[in-house]
Amino acid sequence: MENKKNIPLSLYGLDAPTLTEVLSLPKSFYGKQIYQWLVKGVSSFEEMTNLPKSERERLSSLMSSASSSTIESSESDESGATKMGIRLHDGKIVECVLLIDKKGRHTACLSSQVGCAMGCTFCRTGTMGLLRNLSAEEIIEQYVHLLGVSDQPITHIVYMGMGEPLANIAAVTRSIRYFHEKDAYNISLRRITISTCGVVPGILKLAEQKLPVKLAVSLVTADNRTRDRIMPVNQKWDIMALKRALIHYQRLGGKRFTIEYCMLGGVNTDEFSAKKLSTYVKDMDVIVNLIPWNPAEELPFQSPTEEEIDHFTLLLDRLHVNYTRRRSRGQEINGACGQLAVPLNKGLEYELMVDEEDEE
């Protein structure tokens, strides 16, 4: 019986030489073959038919190639989105979603943590607290599970599932590098979006790493006092500290970012809020995405009415704010991270807008 002590929980994210080493493969090209199977989504050693039978049997008795498994999958008839519940090796559950937009582009929405410590008061995940960070392998495996139900390659990735990605930046950037790897999924960095509630050190770190992914910043309000109240992260890094970090990110080549403005009925949709927002974004190269809040019974907010939204957009027009307005047919996840902490069987519908200019 082989010693299993040094065997990793997952083989995803490992390169071919590392696979050869950790699996004690007798020939180095077996490592490359296993790498290619894993990228294709084949996780059973038995199905890796170009490996000798004896090697397949040995590996099967040693471990499984993935550390997580799908426990539930529900598809929305209307939007075609598929939401999956994934059981991790320690029994904890995370969720991820495959989204298909009107142009047929396939996007994986991935979780980066189990729960979240940021406590945004409008977010379901925020009510869970942080249970733990996900490893890069666990993030990659979500993509692989979604690939298993996708009829086409998944060409876009958004880190907008459970958790604050920049609070787990090492694992998130490792997973991004794997997705971007030519021999793996070869996904352009411009097609990868990280959503953050405003973790300033994470934004600065991302800028240093020169990883020009897109950033979606969940601002919700440009009024410090209101933001202090509904997003505790603001008490640590207020809106001006956030703005300085964003400008720095952009200057260092971090490309564009969007300001996600989750519209909360009666909270951030009046003239005062519009003026604050206009002043805040004035000297930044940015688009504001207006997203009506997704109703959640357990949270003390309400969705804005159509009149409220119309009035707010009118104000933004007058103030010359560059914005887009999402017209959601149902539930939408693209406003902020953490919108996935809901029962799996609700049959939610998602809509995703992917910028035109990412198709370079």
Catalytic option among 109, 123, 197, 337: 337
Least separation in angstroms between residue 320's CB and ligand SF4 is 28
* Smaller CB separation from ligand SF4, 65 or 294: 294
What sign does the dihedral 116-89-44-86 (CA atoms) show?
A: negative
Q: Would you say the C-alpha torsion 119, 125, 130, 132 has a positive or negative sign?
A: negative
Contacting positions for ligand SF4 (CB under 6 A) = 116, 118-120, 123, 125-126, 163-164, 197, 218, 336-338
Do 250 and 217 meet the contact criterion of CB atoms below 8 Å apart?
no
Question: Any idea which residue has 């943590």 for tokens?
Answer: 113
Residue of 55, 95, 138, 332 marked catalytic: 95
Find the shortest distance in angstroms from Cβ 120 to ligand SF4: 3
CB 308 within 8 A of CB 269: yes
Q: Which residue is nearest to ligand SF4 (CB)?
A: 338
Q: Of 344, 326, 349, which is closest to residue 77 (Cα–Cα)?
A: 349
Q: Alpha-carbon distance 182 to 154, whole Å?
A: 15
| Closer Cβ to ligand SF4, 43 or 339, answer by number | 339
Report in angstroms how near the CB of residue 43 gets to ligand SF4 at its nearest. Answer: 28
Question: Toward ligand SF4, which CB reaches closer, 25 or 219?
Answer: 219
In a 10 Å sphere around its CB, with 0-12 CB exposed, 13-18 middle and 19+ buried, how is residue 267 labelled?
Answer: buried
Catalytic site includes residue 337: yes
Nearer to ligand SF4, 184 or 336 (CB): 336
306 is catalytic: no
Least spacing, CB of residue 128 vs ligand SF4, in Å: 9
Which pair of structure tokens corresponds to residue 343? 């029962």
Cα–Cα–Cα angle for 128, 133, 136, rounded to 5 degrees: 140
Which residues are part of the catalytic machinery? 95, 337
